[in-house]
Homo-oligomer: A and B are copies of this chain.
């Protein structure tokens, strides 16, 4: 294959949208790191807290469905959040298979400390809100099409 056609070679790293997404996710992670260190959270832990700040006292499964994560990831993560006194884990009385995750007062309070985080990310993105919203919607649509394929 001639070199001038490399821009069309689907087997080239730089032509793959998945690598763009993969490397952008890591770049976001690196920007978040210093911000979340101050809150004592990792990025996946921050995602769980975002879910709980919207709605509290939910089973592990609900958190997993929103974040596309399973119990193998969430169980140890939630135990670390419990060890940090941010959440409480209790078996549901109605259905003893479920473990309900509730925020502690410290967990609720952390929401205020985290309020500045999205603005810092927006600044680092160096991009207008409307552009970011448009990109976000495109990426979510792509993600949902990919997830639809997985479920056959």
- Contact residues of A with B, CB < 8 Å? 10-13, 15-28, 30-32, 43, 47, 50-51, 53-54, 66-68, 111, 114-115, 117-119, 121-122, 124-127, 132-133, 135-136, 138-140, 142-143, 145-150
Contact = CB atoms under 8 A, between A and B. Distances in A.
Contacts of A11: 50, 53, 111, 114-115, 117-118
Contact of A17 (B47, B54, B135): B135
Contact of A139 (B21, B32, B115, B118): B21
Q: How many copies does the complex hold?
A: 2
A125 B15 CA distance: 15
22 contacts: A11-B53, A11-B111, A13-B51, A15-B133, A16-B50, A16-B118, A16-B121, A16-B136, A17-B135, A17-B136, A21-B139, A22-B28, A23-B68, A24-B142, A27-B68, A27-B150, A31-B149, A31-B150, A125-B146, A126-B145, A126-B148, A139-B139
